[in-house]
Amino acid sequence: MINRIRAIRKDKGMTLVDLAEACSPPTTPQTIGRLETGMRTLSIDWLNRIAAALGVEPEALLASETKAAPMVVARLGADGAEALPKPREAVPPEVLLGDNIMGVLEIEVAQGEYRPGDRLWLRELSPAQTSQAINRDVLVPRSGGRFAFGRLIDRSDGYVAVLPPGTGQRQTVIMDPAWVALGVMLVRML
């Protein structure tokens, strides 16, 4: 069975030791390595344990046997583009970002750093996490089926204040929003 445990683990910045310790109950890095390489059978129990430790759905760990996965083949650094010593699988956004993805905001008109055609992946924040989004771009529901989008500049117990990305726009204050969604990944078509 082809799996993408290694690709997801590396994209999340985890080592074999990190993943082994994150499993419940913890296991050894050697076991994780054997599961990644197919030297050990990836049972349903292991699939569920590793998926929980990585914060992804179990099916995200399985790769298609008929379609080759897109690969990360180079990186752009201070000295320009350079080949990776060993290409690795490019993990899709929904796998990397986990199951708390709320949706995608599609940009139609250039505003601030956003261009037409951009897609901003959004993650819903719990009320306790909202203060961690200060100075980050958020989408907040308003009354009448409208939304406020922009930089979260203030948060209090009863309101949030959002500064839109366009120049010369004024902040919007939303009382008791039902939710706040944080922009976590920008996808830009070229």
pLDDT tens, the chain, 190 aa long:
578 898 888 888 899 999 999 999 999 999 999 998 888 888 899 999 999 999 888 888 887 656 666 778 888 888 888 888 888 777 777 666 666 678 889 999 998 899 999 999 898 888 778 888 999 999 999 888 899 999 999 998 888 999 999 888 899 999 988 889 999 889 898 7
The count of structural domains within the chain is 2
Residues 36 and 61 placed together within one structural domain of the fold: yes
CATH number at residue 59: 1.10.260.40
Q: In b/e form, how buried is each residue of 137-155, taking b as 16+ CB within 10 angstroms?
A: bbbbeeeeeeebbbbbeeb
CATH number at residue 132: 2.10.109.10
Expressed as residue numbers, the domain containing 58 is 5-90
Residues 73 and 33 placed together within one structural domain of the fold: yes
Residues 132 and 182 placed together within one structural domain of the fold: yes
- pTM, two decimal places: 0.61
